[in-house]
Chain A
Amino acid sequence: MKRYAIFPGCTVPAQMPNYELSAKKVAEKLGIELVYLEGFTCCGFPYEAKDTFKQKTISIRNLAVAEKEGLEVVTLCSTCGSTLTKANHLFKTDAKYRGKLEEALKEIGFEYHGKTKIRHFTRMLYEDVGVEKLKSLVVRPFSGVKLAADYGCHYLKPSAVFEGFDDPKRPHTMDEIIEATGATSVDYKDRMACCGAALLAVDEKTSVGMTKYKLDNIKAAGADGMVTQCPFCGIMYDVYQATIGAYNLPVFYLPQLLGAAFGIDPKELGFKINQVKATELLKKVGA
C-alpha cells in the first residue's frame, strides 16, 4: 500500500470536508493510504503579503515535519501545493536563502534537508496511479455528460518549480482524468481564468466579478457541470454561485467525480455539502 502524508491546509478541513472525504474514499479504492501527520500548519500562502521570509519559514517547517516521517506530501489545495513547492525550490536552489531558513528553523527546534517531495493529489493520481488504471475502475460511466475542467492558477504556476509537469498554458492532465470517467471535458473561453478568491478579503466586487467571468464562459459552452481541484475555486464557484446568478451549475471536486464513477455511494462522497446540488446530474448516470 502506497502511503502519502496528506496536507490538509486551512480551507479544506474547515469548509470543504466533502473534498477531503471524497479524496479519502478514492484513495482507499486505489489502495492508497493518506496519513495525517501531527504538526502541519497553514502552508503560509496568505502570510506572503505580510512577510515573505516568515512565509517561507512556515512552509519549510511543514516540509520538515514530513521529512521526519519520510513521507511524500500530497495536497488537496493547489495553492498549498504551489506554496510548498516554491519554498522547497528556493531552499534547494538558493544557498544563501537556505542558510537563513535553516537558522530560523533551528530556533524552533526543526531541521530540514530538502528531501520532501510535494505533489497535488491530482498529479499524484496522474503520475502514480495513471489514467488507464482510473479508467479500469469506472463502473458508472459519465457518458454524455459535459464537464468543464477548472485547473486553478496554482496547480501549475509558477511553472519554473514544477519540473515541466503538464503545460501551464494548455494543460491536459485534469482533462484526461475527467475523460477517464466517460465524461466529455468541454472547451470554453479563457479556461485558465482565475476565480479571484485571493481578492475576496480585499475587494469582494472584483473577486466576484472574476468568478462571474468564468461561470459565464462555462455556461456559454453548454457544460452540465464543473470540476475543480482547488478549495478556493470551490468557494467561489460553488458557495458563491447562487449569489452571482442563476447558473445552477453543479461543481464537483475531482475526487467526488472519480468516486461517483467508481460506484461509491454519493452519500459517502460528501455531496450533501456541495451548495449547488448535483442530484439531477448524478441521477442521469445512475448514482
Chain B
Amino acid sequence: MPASMPELTRESGISGLGEEDGKAMAGEVTFRVLRFDPKKDREPHFKEYQVPNEQGMTVLDGLLQIKAEQDPTLSFRRSCRSGICGSCAVRINGSSRPCCNTQITDNIVNGKVTVEPLANFELIRDLVVNLDPFWSKIRQIHPYNESGPFVMTGKALMEVCADDLAEIRKTEGCIFCGSCYSDCEALRTNKDFVGPAAIVRAYRFMRDPRDKLGKKRLDELKAKTGNAVWLCAVCGNCGEVCPKLIPTNECIASYKNSWFEDNLQPDGLKATAENIEKMGRVYELDDFAIRQRQKMGLAPLTPDNSPKLEPILKKKKGVAK
C-alpha cells in the first residue's frame, strides 16, 4: 500500500473532490469510493457517486450499480453474492467486511457510505488489493489434515469426539475474506505477523485428533519470521469484524496455551505468568511504590494478598473449553 494512501477518519471529511461532487436526492445515498488507477493516478483519491437506496440493497449492489450505469472502470472483486465465497471484502466506513451481505441502510455515516480497499495489503487498483501475502501465510501453516498413510483396519477410521468436533466447528465457518487481516492492528506495523485467519486455521487442525502434524505446522513460518504467533496485540479487532462470528480471540489464546505447554513462549510472557503465580499480580509493589502510595494517601495494597491463588495455578493443567 502506498504510504500516502488516504484512510478514514471518524467524521469522514470530504476533501479534494471538486466537481465530481453531487448531492444525494431522496431515495439516494452518496457512495464515497476510493479510486486508484496505477497508470494514471499518482495517489489514490475518493470519488463520490449517487446510488439509489432501495430497501434490501447491499453495498455490493451499490458498487454494481455504479459500475453498470455510471463508471465501468470501477474495479472490485465479487462472486457469489451470498456471503460464502469471501471475495468481496472491503472496508466500509473504516471497518472490513464482505460487502455482499452488508445493507446500505445500516451503514450510512454522516449521510455517506465510504468504501475503501482492505488495509494491510498492497493496492492494485480501486478496491482490488494484492492478497498474495494472506494466501501465502495460510498455505504455509499446512491448512489440511496430515493424517499419514491411509490404512484399512476394518475398525472405525476416524474417531472424533463431540468436544473436539465442537471446537473444530467453531472455526470451520472461515471464508478467507481477509477482513480480520485487514483490521489487524499488529499487522499494520509488522507485516511479518501471520495474522488471525492463519492462526485460527492452524488451531483448527491442531485440535483435530486425525491430524498428525500438530504444532509442527508452524515450523516453516517460525523459521521465516521467528515470532509467528506472538505478535497478536490482543486488540480484539478480528473477533469484531469476522462475518462468520468465529471466536478468533479465543482460538488465538488456546493456540498460545499449546505453545506454553511446550515451553515455547517468549521470555517476557513467561516472566509475567510466573509473577502472577508467585504474587497474584504482574508487578511487585516495591518499597518505592509503597512509599509513594503512602505519601499520596492511597490504600497500601499489601503485596501478598493472593496466597489463595496458588491451588488454582498449581494444578497441572487447566480444563480447556
Evaluate contact between A153 and B234: CB separation under 8 angstroms. Answer: yes
How far, in whole Å, are A108 and B289 apart by their CA atoms in the complex? 30
Question: Which one of B272, B319, B321 lies within 8 Å of A201 (CB-CB)?
Answer: B272
The answer to whether A129 has its CB under 8 Å from any CB of chain B is no
Evaluate contact between B233 and A194: CB separation under 8 angstroms. Answer: yes
Closest chain B residue to A15 by CB distance? B283
Chain B residues, CB < 8 A from A201 = 266, 268-269, 271-272
Closest chain B residue to A204 by CB distance? B268
Q: Which residues of B contact A (CB under 8 A)?
A: 7-11, 93-95, 109, 185-186, 188-190, 193, 227, 230-237, 239-240, 249-250, 253-254, 256-257, 260, 265-266, 268-269, 271-273, 276, 280-286, 289, 292-293, 296-299, 301, 305-306, 308-309, 311-313, 315, 317-321
The 4 closest A-B pairs by CB, nearest first: A201-B268, A53-B318, A157-B236, A41-B280
Interface with B: A6-14, A112-120, A241-249, A258-266, which one? A6-14
Chain B residues, CB < 8 A from A17 = 289, 292-293, 296, 298
Closest chain A residue to B321 by CB distance? A97
Evaluate contact between B227 and A49: CB separation under 8 angstroms. Answer: no
Evaluate contact between B319 and A53: CB separation under 8 angstroms. Answer: yes
Chain A residues, CB < 8 A from B193 = 206
A250 CB to closest chain B CB (Å) equals 20
In the assembled complex, 6 residue pairs joining A and B whose CB atoms fall closer than 8 Å, in A order, are: A14-B281, A24-B298, A46-B269, A108-B308, A108-B311, A194-B233
A107 CB to closest chain B CB (Å) equals 6
Evaluate contact between A209 and B189: CB separation under 8 angstroms. Answer: yes
How many residues on the A side are at the interface (Cβ–Cβ under 8 A)?
67
Evaluate contact between A194 and B320: CB separation under 8 angstroms. Answer: no
B124 CB to closest chain A CB (Å) equals 22
A165 CB to closest chain B CB (Å) equals 15
B234 CB to closest chain A CB (Å) equals 5
How far, in whole Å, are A21 and B11 apart by their CA atoms in the complex? 34
The answer to whether A168 has its CB under 8 Å from any CB of chain B is yes
Chain B residues, CB < 8 A from A158 = 236, 239-240, 249
Chain A residues, CB < 8 A from B185 = 153, 193-194, 196, 210
How far, in whole Å, are A108 and B308 apart by their CA atoms in the complex? 6
Evaluate contact between A107 and B7: CB separation under 8 angstroms. Answer: no
Evaluate contact between B10 and A170: CB separation under 8 angstroms. Answer: yes
Chain B residues, CB < 8 A from A49 = 253, 256-257, 260, 265, 269, 273
Q: Which residues of A contact B (CB under 8 A)?
A: 8, 10-11, 13-15, 17, 20-21, 24, 36, 38-42, 44, 46-54, 57-58, 61, 82, 97, 100, 104, 107-110, 153-154, 157-159, 168-170, 187-191, 193-194, 196-203, 205-207, 209-210, 213, 270
Evaluate contact between A50 and B109: CB separation under 8 angstroms. Answer: no
How far, in whole Å, are A198 and B272 apart by their CA atoms in the complex? 11
Question: Which one of A8, A104, A209 lies within 8 Å of B312 (CB-CB)?
Answer: A104
Question: Which one of B188, B240, B273 lies within 8 Å of A47 (CB-CB)?
Answer: B273
B6 CB to closest chain A CB (Å) equals 9
Closest chain B residue to A79 by CB distance? B234
Evaluate contact between A41 and B306: CB separation under 8 angstroms. Answer: yes
Chain B residues, CB < 8 A from A38 = 305
Evaluate contact between B269 and A199: CB separation under 8 angstroms. Answer: no
Chain B residues, CB < 8 A from A51 = 257, 260, 317-318
Chain A residues, CB < 8 A from B249 = 158
Evaluate contact between B7 and A189: CB separation under 8 angstroms. Answer: yes
Evaluate contact between A13 and B301: CB separation under 8 angstroms. Answer: yes
With A109-B308, A202-B266 known to touch, is A100 a contact of B319 (CB < 8 Å)? yes
Question: Which one of A36, A170, A189, A198 lies within 8 Å of B301 (CB-CB)?
Answer: A36
Evaluate contact between A206 and B189: CB separation under 8 angstroms. Answer: yes
Evaluate contact between B308 and A10: CB separation under 8 angstroms. Answer: no
Evaluate contact between B299 and A36: CB separation under 8 angstroms. Answer: yes
A64 CB to closest chain B CB (Å) equals 11
B311 CB to closest chain A CB (Å) equals 5
Evaluate contact between A52 and B308: CB separation under 8 angstroms. Answer: no
- Known pairs A54-B312, A202-B231, A206-B193; list 10 more (Cβ under 8 Å): A39-B305, A41-B305, A42-B306, A50-B257, A51-B260, A52-B321, A54-B313, A198-B234, A205-B190, A209-B189
Evaluate contact between A210 and B188: CB separation under 8 angstroms. Answer: yes
B63 CB to closest chain A CB (Å) equals 21
Chain A residues, CB < 8 A from B186 = 194, 196, 199, 206, 210
Evaluate contact between A13 and B9: CB separation under 8 angstroms. Answer: no
B91 CB to closest chain A CB (Å) equals 11
Closest chain A residue to B245 by CB distance? A160
With A20-B298, A58-B309, A202-B231 known to touch, is A53 a contact of B269 (CB < 8 Å)? no
Evaluate contact between A13 and B289: CB separation under 8 angstroms. Answer: yes
Evaluate contact between A209 and B319: CB separation under 8 angstroms. Answer: no
Closest chain A residue to B189 by CB distance? A209
Evaluate contact between B285 and A203: CB separation under 8 angstroms. Answer: no
Evaluate contact between B296 and A270: CB separation under 8 angstroms. Answer: yes
Chain A residues, CB < 8 A from B297 = 21
Evaluate contact between A188 and B9: CB separation under 8 angstroms. Answer: yes
B159 CB to closest chain A CB (Å) equals 22
